[in-house]
Structure 1
């Protein structure tokens, strides 16, 4: 899953994109309730994925966020009846 974060700079509105890594029940909740354009909050840790490019042999890296908690921040209607407003793995 990819997260877009909008912010303002001198050049106007900018968007940063972050890859999210979700596992277990957190991934299940995201699959069932998060849609493109949904307003969400995430808590987790930053990790750096590294690999060797098969075409060039160059070392590559990409940041990712390992999500521990996901919060559905949109309206109840936006969240398809709002059955789950927040998920923390330790609750289950």
Structure 2
């Protein structure tokens, strides 16, 4: 797990992702002082219960939902916000934030 300061930065950034938009693990990492994309992924996997963060809006660099135990739920949550996926499972580039 990343250090507490870096975790706080990650959580603050993820909290700002607007509904109907997505960003990548790498973009989140780039907005922090020291996180890597893997650290962001780890932070999303280990969110405390009841957190309320829009974790589902963080996707991989190929603009796809990463395969994991919550992938189906993530797809559902994104579709409910109006996110569309192309035939290859990618989110359109114009929906990337920021």
Would the TM-score normalized by the shorter structure come out above 0.5?
no
Higher strand share: 1
Higher helix share: 2
- Give the TM-score, by structure 1 length: 0.24
Higher relative contact order (CA 8 A, sep 6+): 2
Larger radius of gyration: 1
- Give the TM-score, by structure 2 length: 0.23
